[in-house]
Structure 1
């Protein structure tokens, strides 16, 4: 009877000990614990990894899964850093390009305004209308460039709002004039 009881205790421990080792390993899979898990293996865990029974196979499979997870985490962190670097380059490009577009755009608007004012002599009404569309289109484009710059400032939390009324009538008139020339051709 004592022999059977001792055999039962031994058999019970031989089953529960590997299961408790596996349970501890599962608990160690919490965030931030994955890296430490392999370094802190105890003797029972190492024996379990070297065995050939189902629990040993499960433990090795579990170990491979942990390694794959660590590899994926590292890969994701590298891609995240690369994306952040590309995002900074994109922002810098947009800011630089926007500033470079402003100079010629202001020149086009200024020259067109000067021609409308008669600096080069009198112009026909049709020429004045066309130059006015150039000025209005240039101003719209300048507003788009400013929007790009504002977006860049907003992303860097450096945007200061300047509230002012908007002349919707002139925008609608410009869009209709531009569309009208497309419809008639």
Structure 2
């Protein structure tokens, strides 16, 4: 039974480990997609807000005011690497933090997601006018931090959950499978020694119950066969005794007249009843 316990434990742990890895991979992938979409949504919303805020000052070309608005809007936001406002000619007019255009492009090639939104002027029935654009750079490292944090929490939660599940399943297997099989193994060992007196009882209706019922029928049939064999042995012994008595009685009954005949023949041979002629002797 030790080998069965080991095999069940290995199968159970292997299944749970595979399930954990698959579940973890799917959860991480889903969580990463959710965080990516959230980061994209936050960046677009921030760019839209900044472009709406810069619309009115851009008409009067109050770029310093726009710079102050950028600072107040994004300062303290860990996800925002930079925010820039460009005029309709593509020239950098306001930025936070204050960086030159040459310093921005290398950042764009790094771990930064850049989102843009146009600065649109729409007044009554006048044609829509694009006064420039807002460019926002978001740090993907924050996404990596959130993913790592989610991964850590997921691994911890999954480990605890599957550990409890493994414990419950193992106890259930021991109660429902290992213990009944151990009892059947004990009964088989008892039957193999020739002890057929102990019955095998079970209330189960599953495969193990049918196996126990089959062993019980085998035990009962063996016991009945042994009983019949013992009865036949007793009957054969009785017949052997009766045979011995018959032979002894028959021998006694035959021995008495034969002794008389032998004695008479010896007397005749010795001439106790007269001389025997040649014709009588030959006869």
TM-based fold match above 0.5: yes
- 1: distance between equivalents of 2:193 and 2:171? 35
- 1: distance between equivalents of 2:228 and 2:180? 32
Give the Å deviation of 1:129: 5.1
- 1: distance between equivalents of 2:177 and 2:204? 13
2:174 equivalent to 1:21: no
2:170 equivalent to 1:9: yes
Q: Equivalent residue for 1:109?
A: 262
Q: Equivalent residue for 1:88?
A: 241
Q: Equivalent residue for 1:73?
A: 226
Give the Å deviation of 1:53: 1.8
- 1: distance between equivalents of 2:281 and 2:265? 9
- 2: distance between equivalents of 1:126 and 1:57? 91
Give the Å deviation of 1:105: 0.7
Match of 1:100 among 247, 253, 269: 253
* Structure showing greater Rg: 2
Give the Å deviation of 1:62: 0.4
| Alignment TM-score, normalising by the size of structure 2 | 0.39
**Higher strand residue share:** 2
Give the Å deviation of 1:119: 3.4
Q: Aligned-residue CA RMSD in angstroms? A: 2.2
Give the Å deviation of 1:55: 1.5
- 2: distance between equivalents of 1:50 and 1:57? 10
Structure 2 gap segments, 5+ residues each? 1-161
| Alignment TM-score, normalising by the size of structure 1 | 0.57
Q: Equivalent residue for 2:203?
A: 50
Give the Å deviation of 1:77: 1.5
**Higher helix residue share:** 1
Give the Å deviation of 1:120: 3.6
1:119-134 maps to which residues of 2 (within 5 A)? Answer: 119-125=272-278, 127-128=280-281
Give the Å deviation of 1:81: 1.4
Structure 2 SS opposite 1:58: helix
2:215 equivalent to 1:62: yes
Q: Deviations over 1:70-128 (max 9, x none)?
A: 11111111111111122111111111211111111111111112222233433233533
Q: Deviations over 1:29-48 (max 9, x none)?
A: 1546321x12xx6xxxx4xx
Structure 1 gap segments, 5+ residues each? 131-185
Instruction: Give structure 1 regions of 4+ aligned residues with deviation exceeding 4 angstroms.
Output: none
